[in-house]
Every structure is written in C-alpha cells, then in structure tokens.
Structure 1
Amino acid sequence: MIDLKYRKFIQIGFLAIITLIICYSSMQSMRANAWYFNGLNTLKQLSSPIDNSELLNAENAISLATEIEPTQPHYWQLYAYIKMLKLTTNKSFIDSDKKKLVYKQVEQALLKSIKLRKTWAETWISLAEVVSYQEGPSDRVYNYIQQAKKMGPNKIAVHLGAIQIALVNWHQLPPKYKALYVNELNLAVQHGYQFYDVFNIAQQVNGLPTLCLSLQFGTAFEKVRVSNHYRKYC
C-alpha cells in the first residue's frame, strides 16, 4: 500500500513538472512573439525620414525575441533586415570596420535562419547579397543565388536580388555572372509592373547606365522601352 501511494506521488510530481515546463515554454513563446511583432509593427510605422530611435527600438525588440526563442527562422530574418536597414540609413556615418562587423552579424543571422528553414528563397538571396558586400562576386555568392533560384525559381525578389548583385559588381563580374544577369533580367520582366523596381535598385547602386544599356536590346523589353520608368531613368 505504501509503495502504491509512493508511486502515485511520483507520478503526480512528474506530471506537475511536465505541466510547469509546458507552461513555461508557452509563456516564453508568447513573450518572444510579442517582441517580434513589436519590432515588425515599429518597422511598418517608421517615419520619413527614418528616425534612428525607431530603428533602435525595432532592433532591441527583435533582439529580445531571438534571445528568448532562437529557434524561429523568421525572427532571425527580421533581425538581419533591421541590421541592414540601420546600416543603409546611417551609411554616411559608419566607418568600414563597423560595416564589416554588421555584414558579418547579418550573415550569421541569415545562416541561422536558413539552418532552421532551408526553403525560403528570400533568405538565400539576402544571404547572397550580404556576402557579396564582403567578397564580391565569389563562388559562394553564386551558389547562394542558385539556392535561392532553386527554392523560388519564379520569385521576383530572387530575380531582382541577383540583378542587384551583378550591377554592384559589374566591373569585376565573371562571365557566368553576366550570363546570370541577362537571364534574370529576362525572367524579371515577365512579372509585369513589379519589374520596374529594378530602376530604383539600379539607381541606388549607381547601375543605371548598365541597366539602361541592357534594356535597349531584345523583344522582351519592348514595353519597358516605351514606359514612363524608362523615359525617367534612361
């Protein structure tokens, strides 16, 4: 009888411990999710021009989310996005060593995201972009682009990301990258109005002369050549 009662106490204690663990885990997930949406909503409501204090609040929120629950791939992706946005917003005031540090932090965050979920094409192309800032048009960057294309062969973000990498590194671009650039332009133009984002991208990276020259040839770009965007930028 005593052994039976003892076993029951053990079972009840064991169940209580499991319940506490589950409750704690659920609470942690809720806290992390709250901080994630705090950061996301802060980004959606950014003022124009962007206020650095708002970016800092968003960064602090997503940092807390990744600390509390580091197993969520979208947390790491948002963390990387905010880091790059801060760098872009303050690029005139950040020295080269700081930029290298941020690039490495972003790269590591994206690698963590990919380790947790390998099927997001946008994560692969973002990784390709940030590594290209560090290495130029390297084989590693090319492989990341190929992974992005494999996961999202019809995604406009992948096409535009590959085009941006090519334009940034045009003067040192290997032949396989130039072939990739031409191919991605032809794929991107099939997305209709979404293609016109390519002009803003080219302007940001001082690649408009190269882009405009590329669009002068080929039947695929006939409608582009008579568009307002083409007349404005080219």
Structure 2
Amino acid sequence: MTKLNMLKVVPAVILGMIVLVIVYTSMQSMRANAWYFNALNIVQESDGALSGSSFKAAENAITLATTMDPEHPHYWHFLAHIKMLGLAGIDTTSSKQSEYVQQTYQQIEQALLKSVSLRQTWPQTWIALAQVVSYQEGPTDRVYDYIQQAKKVGPYKLDVHLGVIQIALMHWSDLPPVYKALYVNELKLASKYGYKFNNVFSMAKQMNRLPIVCLSLQFGAHFEAVRNTYMFKKYCD
C-alpha cells in the first residue's frame, strides 16, 4: 500500500471506529432507558408498596440501567428511591434488622452521592441525601449542609420543605436550636401551599409527631390561614 493510500485509509478507519463507539453508546443508552422504565412501571404498579419479588425485580432493572448508563444521574436517584421503598415493610429499629438496614442506608447514600456528582441542580436528590444521612447520623452538620444545598437549588420546592420538616420531627428530642429555627421556617414556607399542606399533617401523623406540628401551628400570624382550614380542625382539634 502506497503512502498516499495509507493517508486515505487511516482517517476512514478512525472515522469508522468513532461511528462504532457512537452506535454502541447510543444502544447502551437506549437499553438503559428501557430498564429504567421497566423499574418505573414496577414501582407504579405496586403503588410504592414493593413486595419481595417486585422489589427485587425493580432493583435488578434499575441496577442494569445504572450499569449500562452510569453517567445518568436520575438512574442513580431512582435506585436510591427503590432501595428506600424496600425498607418500607421492615422495622428499621429492630436489632435483628440493624445490619441490613445500615448497609441499605449506606448504599442509598452512595447512590445519591453519585447522582449529585453528575447533577448538582436537582433539589429532590439533595434533600433525599440529607434524609438518609440523618437516619444514620442524626441532625449533624453534614445533614445541614445537604439541606442548604437543597434549599439553594430548590428554594420553592414543597418536597424540600417536607424533607426538612421530616428530619426535624424525626430527631425532635435532640434537635439543635439551628434545626428548630429551620423547622419553623420550613413550616412557614409549606403553609403557603394551600391544600398541599395536608402532606405535612399526614406525614406527622405517620411519624406519631402530630402533636408537635399542631402545637407549632398554634402560634404566629403566618399560620393563621392554616388554622382556619378543615385540615387543621381534622388533625388538631
């Protein structure tokens, strides 16, 4: 082969390799997306109450998605979500389950850290990270930093307000003053969402923290609108 012919062939070979890489990457992305929707459908069909078999199927599907497209932040977020759903039917305070629960929390934390490393602008991931770390450490400085990140990128997101309130209520007995101030502020912000404030009441009821929320709402003009709602009368009267 002459030097001239080689000069023609080499770029063609390189171009062909680039095309193959692009095709392979696209195929992997499409397959990952299919596995993601497989997992999503399982979760939606189970209405968030994953049984042993459905949990395993959803977990396997989303794990395949993260393997095929590890740079997709939402796949990592959804993996964490599925693992958290898997704990819903478990007594997380049981000593028999403590090792499994702790390992799962760590796996969730790692998945969320991977997600935020790829996408820093999604507040739901930051607040989920704050929540799972608080389950392990309590209301620490690290949790507070994650909360601040969530508030920075999603200052008007109800999910963020609810997440902060949930963290505060869970650790109420040993809540530092800075967290109590944060709790009151997030309660004020959540009160501006009208009927959606019902999410605060239902969450507090599930956590056996309803008296704390009701007492918090008794004072201050900023909660007057909430006090005049049927929700307040239903849960607090």
Query: Scaled by the length of structure 2, what TM-score is found?
Result: 0.93
Give 3-state SS (helix, strand or coil) of 1:80's partner.
helix
Task: Specify every segment of 5 or more residues in structure 1 that has no aligned partner in the other structure, as ranges.
Answer: none
CA positional deviation for 1:224: 2.1
Are 2:191 and 1:189 equivalent residues in the alignment? yes
Q: What is the SS of the residue equivalent to 2:88?
A: helix
Aligned length: 234
State the 4+ residue runs in structure 1 displaced beyond 4 angstroms.
47-50
Shift of 1:50: 4.2
SS in 2 for 1:91: coil
Change (3 A) 1:49 1:100: closer
**Partner residue in 1 for 2:68:** 68
| Per-residue Cα deviation, 1:190-234 (whole angstroms, up to 9, x for no partner) | 111111100111122221111111111122222322333223322
Match among 99, 102, 111 for residue 101 of structure 2:
99
**RMSD after superposition:** 1.7
1:139–1:24 Cα change, 3 Å? same
Q: Deviations over 1:52-88 (max 9, x none)?
A: 3222211111000001111011000000000001111
Farther-moved stretch of structure 1 (136-145 vs 50-59): 50-59
Q: CA deviation digits over 1:168-188, x for unaligned, max 9?
A: 000000010010111110011
Write the distance in 2 (CA, Å) between the matches of 1:143 and 1:50: 31
| Structure 1 counterpart of 2:6, one-letter code | Y
**1:47, distance to aligned residue in structure 2 (A):** 5.2
Could you say which residue in structure 2 is the equivalent of 1:164?
166
Instruction: State the match for 1:113 in structure 2.
Output: 115
Question: Which consecutive unaligned segments of at least 5 residues does structure 2 have?
Answer: none
Query: Aligned letter for 1:229?
Result: M
Letter paired with 2:139: P
Whether the aligned pair in 1 keeps the contact of 2:50 and 2:86 (CA below 8 Å) is: no
Percent same amino acid at aligned positions? 56
Aligned-partner Cα distance in 1 for 2:48–2:169: 27
Structure 2 residue aligned with 1:58 = 58
How far apart are residue 133 of structure 1 and its match? 0.3
Q: Could you tell me how far apart the structure 1 residues matched to 2:46 and 2:87 are?
A: 15
TM-score, normalization: structure 1? 0.94
